Amino acid sequence: MDANQQETVERLIRQIESAFSNVMFDNPPEGLIPVLRQLKNKHWRDIPLDVLNMKDFVYHLPMNKNVDYFLPAYMVAILKYQKSYAYSNDPEGLPIIMLGLLSGRRPRFTDKTPYAVINKKQSFTVLEFLEAYPNLFPDLFVIKTFPDEVKKELTEVHRSMGLSITEHLTYYELWEKAMAFWKSKSAAG
């Protein structure tokens, strides 16, 4: 990481800490898994990395009513640990997963609005975080779009696995969707 990137990381961490400064986990939902019960009445900065790294936990983030509690912890983890912070078996780690989640695409199983509890200041902070992605994770932006033949092959691979995934986006395209979503969310307030 060069000096410019380090300065960006430090600025973003300060901005995240300010935007989410008063967010506590004071109303966790009933029936919470034991590992999360330990977070009750704690600040989001106190979430252990192993909790953030729990299998599949991050995928429920957009619809979670406590997204304002978990989102800043994930963003700071990405900024501090970047690619060395591997999620599950993904060699690229959390930065890629978060990019997809921040794109605002609604999971098929719900009609709720993603990130409904995030306020305007927090929305601007997420937007700033996303704006820094090309500088902080340049390797993710090498391919702007997949050629049609690659998309066709990906569809076939997914079909053979029993999956009905038909949209094949590069990390650049996910980033574009995420930027558009958070610009819109920030403007709406």
Q: What is the mean pLDDT of residues 145-163?
A: 82
Which of left, alpha, beta for 55 (phi over 0: left; psi -120 to 50: alpha)? beta
Inter-CA distances, 59 with 30, 97, 129, 139, Å: 20, 8, 19, 23
Give the count of domains, the chain.
1
* Helix intervals (H) in the chain: 3-19, 34-37, 49-52, 67-81, 94-101, 120-131, 133-136, 148-160, 171-188
Q: pTM for the whole thing?
A: 0.80
Which residue range is the domain that position 118 belongs to? 3-188
Q: How far apart are CA 70 and CA 58, in angstroms?
A: 9
- pLDDT for 18 equals 96
81-140 residue pLDDT tens: 765 444 444 445 566 667 767 776 654 445 466 677 889 999 999 999 999 988 888 877
* Residue in this structure with the two tokens 């305007």, named with its chain if needed: 120
